[in-house]
Chains A and B, each alone.
Chain A
């Protein structure tokens, strides 16, 4: 029994404990805090498993941005329904055990149905590892995400876009824009932004640039940039505006459009769909995805159709 195994066991137990705290708590705010902690421990577990791409994504997205999104949603919820939010979930519905049992049964059924599937031919991971040199990529995850499972990534981008549109549809009839945050003119805040924002941009562009060969890529870079966007929104440097602009819409669509192009364009040249288009094409697609991801997450946090820079 090695020390590493002990650490892994402890991390696994902590993760399960945190997950229980997230779903069993009676206070929404407490659940949100535990969810952020859950995301961080999850990132550590991915790192222990050697899946650095996922660790980065989970730390930036799962713990950081989703936490910030849930916090801002909670704040709006408190404004709308102070009483319900304060003791939300205080009385468990009688349906809870039934729903829990049915969900558990569904998970068990799915698990058992997957058990007999022993060997899957042509798994993306194996393909990617076998053909990494031929593709000229250093990071098998990038090869899976953009070459062997490009359709999945396309659908992920569509899900993100749909989620944003859904949020717009639900949010707009109910809310006017929240009062814009007063721009913080404190010297400390100004110097924090002057230090942090350039560093975040540097890290994000680096993650994008090295994504083909090392852990990193569009999702990680996009969530880093969106974190900078959240910081700028919180300090009043970016202001939510009520009307979307064509530039915003274009940037929101850019990721989906670039992936569609990456997937379908080889057909025009007479190859099969998703034929490998080369490193440059991958980088361009990832840059477009990064812009869309950044903007989608920032706008979700702003709760507005667009943002503008404070002048």
Chain B
């Protein structure tokens, strides 16, 4: 039962990371791409960490995976904030040709 749940979570995580990657490749400008990357990828990473924690089945592993997720969350929050700030300061335009 737990194994199946873990597999479902893993598949869900892969879906969100895939969606984030598609978003980064296909969306028109830097702000939209950041939006796709950070939101979808962090959710995907959370689902994958949950799946791995279930598979591992021990508290220590689960806590470590949670810490990894939190660190990735912190790093992606700050770095995307900085990228967006830099883009705005440089007045990088939005839209299809805004690069």
A: which residues have CB within 8 A of B?
184, 186, 188-189, 192, 195-196, 199
Interface string of B63-87 (1 = CB under 8 A from A): 0000000010011011001100100
Residues in B whose Cβ lies below 8 Å from that of A186: 81-82, 85
Within the complex, the shortest CB–CB distance from B29 to chain A, in Å, comes to: 19
B81, A188: Cβ atoms closer than 8 Å: yes
B71, A192: Cβ atoms closer than 8 Å: no
- Give 13 A-B pairs besides A186-B82, A188-B81, A192-B78 with Cβ atoms closer than 8 angstroms: A184-B82, A186-B81, A186-B85, A188-B77, A188-B78, A188-B82, A189-B78, A189-B82, A192-B74, A192-B75, A195-B74, A196-B71, A196-B74
B71, A199: Cβ atoms closer than 8 Å: yes
Within the complex, the shortest CB–CB distance from A14 to chain B, in Å, comes to: 15
Residues in B whose Cβ lies below 8 Å from that of A188: 77-78, 81-82
| Alpha-carbon separation in the docked complex, A195 to B78 (Å) | 12
| Alpha-carbon separation in the docked complex, A274 to B88 (Å) | 58
Interface size on B, residues (CB 8 A): 8
| Alpha-carbon separation in the docked complex, A189 to B82 (Å) | 9
Number of A-B contacts (CB under 8 A): 18
Residues in B whose Cβ lies below 8 Å from that of A189: 78, 82
Residues in B whose Cβ lies below 8 Å from that of A195: 74
B: which residues have CB within 8 A of A?
71, 74-75, 77-78, 81-82, 85
Within the complex, the shortest CB–CB distance from A192 to chain B, in Å, comes to: 4
Within the complex, the shortest CB–CB distance from B3 to chain A, in Å, comes to: 14
Residues in A whose Cβ lies below 8 Å from that of B74: 192, 195-196
For this complex, 5 residue pairs linking A to B, each with C-beta atoms less than 8 Å apart, are: A186-B81, A188-B77, A189-B78, A192-B74, A199-B71
| Alpha-carbon separation in the docked complex, A195 to B74 (Å) | 9
Within the complex, the shortest CB–CB distance from A3 to chain B, in Å, comes to: 12
| Alpha-carbon separation in the docked complex, A199 to B77 (Å) | 17
| Alpha-carbon separation in the docked complex, A154 to B77 (Å) | 41
Within the complex, the shortest CB–CB distance from A232 to chain B, in Å, comes to: 14
Within the complex, the shortest CB–CB distance from A271 to chain B, in Å, comes to: 42
| Alpha-carbon separation in the docked complex, A127 to B66 (Å) | 39
> What is the chain A residue whose CB lies nearest that of B71?
A199
Residues in A whose Cβ lies below 8 Å from that of B75: 192, 196
Residues in B whose Cβ lies below 8 Å from that of A196: 71, 74-75
Within the complex, the shortest CB–CB distance from A274 to chain B, in Å, comes to: 37
Residues in B whose Cβ lies below 8 Å from that of A184: 82
> What is the chain A residue whose CB lies nearest that of B78?
A192
Residues in B whose Cβ lies below 8 Å from that of A199: 71
Residues in A whose Cβ lies below 8 Å from that of B71: 196, 199
| Alpha-carbon separation in the docked complex, A176 to B77 (Å) | 34
| Alpha-carbon separation in the docked complex, A189 to B74 (Å) | 10
Residues in A whose Cβ lies below 8 Å from that of B82: 184, 186, 188-189
> What is the chain B residue whose CB lies nearest that of A189?
B78
Within the complex, the shortest CB–CB distance from B17 to chain A, in Å, comes to: 14
| Alpha-carbon separation in the docked complex, A188 to B85 (Å) | 12
| Alpha-carbon separation in the docked complex, A188 to B77 (Å) | 9
> What is the chain B residue whose CB lies nearest that of A195?
B74
